Amino acid sequence: MKIYLIPFALVDEEGESEIQKKTFGLELIDAPSFWYLHGALQHKFILDKAYMYVDWETFESDIVENHDGRSYLATGIYDVEIEGHDKPCKAFMWQSEEGGIFLLRGLVVDSTVEDDVKDAQKKYEEKPYML
């Protein structure tokens, strides 16, 4: 299983071909989303958003769901790789629904930063609509 994130801060016109090479064969998780890089990751990359990709095996597994033709991660806690970050990371993900529209929610944190993990775990347990 592979979940791969590319922070918005690393995506520019010059690096676009490199990004395309790194994501070749991967599928974009394209759900309307309000999940964020959190804590140390947000500070490192300045912005808190990233693109999320999965490998084909993961895309075809139970952890990727489809709502209205868009792909979502199922509610859960996942190991993720982040471009430009060499430490282990976790994604705490859940889905919300409002007015028949599903939204992907969650926080992605550096697993080595205890306070960030605790905060993400707390939010995951509460599953708030707004973060």
What's phi and psi for 14, nearest 5 deg?
-65, -40
Residue 13 pLDDT exceeds 70: no
Overall average pLDDT of the 2-21 stretch: 80
**Has residue 131 been placed in a domain?**
no
Lowest mean pLDDT among 13-22, 55-64, 90-99, 104-113: 13-22
If one counts the domains in the chain, the total is 1
Task: Quote the percentage of the chain above a pLDDT of 90.
Answer: 74
Q: Cβ(38)–Cβ(131) under 8 Å?
A: no
More confident: 95 or 8: 95
Contact 43, 3 (CB under 8 A): no
Give the structural domain span for 96: 3-126
**101 pLDDT higher than 70:** yes
Residues 32-74: tens digit of each pLDDT:
989 999 999 999 999 899 999 999 999 999 999 998 899 999 9
Mean predicted lDDT score pLDDT of the chain:
92
